[in-house]
Amino acid sequence: MKKHPIIVIVGPTASGKTDVSIQLASRMNGEIISADSRQFYLHMDIGTAKPTNLELLTVPHHLINVAHPSSPWSLAAFQDAAKKCIDDIYARGKIPFIVGGTGQYVWGLIEGWMVPSEPINQTLRRCLEVWADEIGASGIHTVLQRLDPAAAEIIQVENIRRTVRALEVIFSSGIRFSDQRLKNPPDYDFLIIGISWDRPTLYKRVDRRIEIMLNTGLVEEVRGLLDSGLDPETSAMSAIGYREIAGYLTGKHSLDDAVLLMKRNTRKYIRRQANWFKPTDPRITWFPAGDHLAERMGTFIKDTLLKSGHP
């Protein structure tokens, strides 16, 4: 029995994934499943560059606005929801497009990552959380880097909650967190395509995007989240743009400094994304950005599906 094909579109922040995926999905009777970990959250629209209302009406989208920022969505929750979406889309005779730049979620779905089953050790966790408070996010992440470099590579520095969990598993079991990550790939035929840019041009696109976010109400969006009682230290608020503007609104730095931090942190994030989606990864077919990108990608997708026996 042939596996169902799934189109996966990856690439760095500001590479144009949203636009090209909408063009392709609309032409190929497809629906889009977001694999952007920040677009899951309600009330976080501008800073996450969610599709516009018009774009959402053009092609059906899934896993956008499905969680509250105070309740972080786990990889396991994403995997479960994404598989249900995939099955539903196929049941209606359409093609799923997985679109996003969050490497952990993209590869977690494709490779079927299974989180370590080590039970929670509340006493140890509390000790680790106190330690993290004392030495900060960077300090506790450095501890993980020394004990388990592979785990540190996939856990963002600012995600203290996941860093603490990884250390908890290591100290409880005596086994590295990364060595306990089992894989059970789902029974789909993934076709992974990526959008590539030269760095200087991509950085200019990032700067322009940040200007647009500020001009369309990012500060007001973050102020609204804080006024609603959302803890600025919650995982969702660690997203680039939100933590810097929250720092401005709470008096930690000026707005100009917040903007500089946004640009600097986005560049760092793009470099981390390059570790997830490597130019040399044989599973990914890369397309240089430029004229007729959707047409070039669309031709490749149709030819590949036909060669593999999919109508």
| pLDDT tens digit sequence for 101-156 | 999 899 999 999 887 767 788 899 999 999 999 998 889 999 999 999 988 887 87
Q: Give the model's pLDDT for residue 311.
A: 67
Q: Which residue has the tokens 């976080």?
A: 44
Model pLDDT, residue 303: 95
- Strand, coil or helix: what is 180? helix
Q: What average pLDDT does this structure show over 274-283?
A: 94
Which residue stretches of 92-121 are H helix? Answer: 103-111
For residue 157, name the pLDDT band (cuts at 50, 70, 90). Answer: confident
248-272, pLDDT tens digit by residue? 999 999 999 999 999 999 999 999 8
pLDDT at 177 over 90: no
**Strand, helix or coil at 138?**
helix
Mean pLDDT of 174-188: 84
The mean per-residue pLDDT over the stretch 178-189 comes to 83
Q: Measured between alpha carbons, how far is 224 from 23 in angstroms, rounded to an integer? A: 33
Q: How far is CA 107 from CA 15, 114, 125, 149, 162, in A?
A: 19, 11, 27, 18, 17
Q: For residue 2, what pLDDT band results from cuts at 50, 70 and 90?
A: low
pLDDT of residue 151: 87
| Separation of alpha carbons 232 and 250, rounded Å | 9
Average pLDDT over residues 64-93: 93
Please give the CATH topology (third level) of the domain spanning 116-180: Histone, subunit A (1.10.20)
Mean per-residue pLDDT over the chain, rounded: 93
Candidates 18, 269, 275; CA nearest to 157 is: 269
CATH annotation of 4-113+183-307 = 3.40.50.300
Average pLDDT, integer, range 79-86: 95
pLDDT of 161 reads: 84
- Per-residue pLDDT, 186: 86
pLDDT score at 94: 96
Domain boundaries, the chain: 4-113+183-307, 116-180
pTM for this prediction? 0.87
More confident residue, 81 or 120: 81
Can you tell me the mean pLDDT for 163-190? 88
Q: How far apart are CA 81 and CA 101, in angstroms?
A: 18
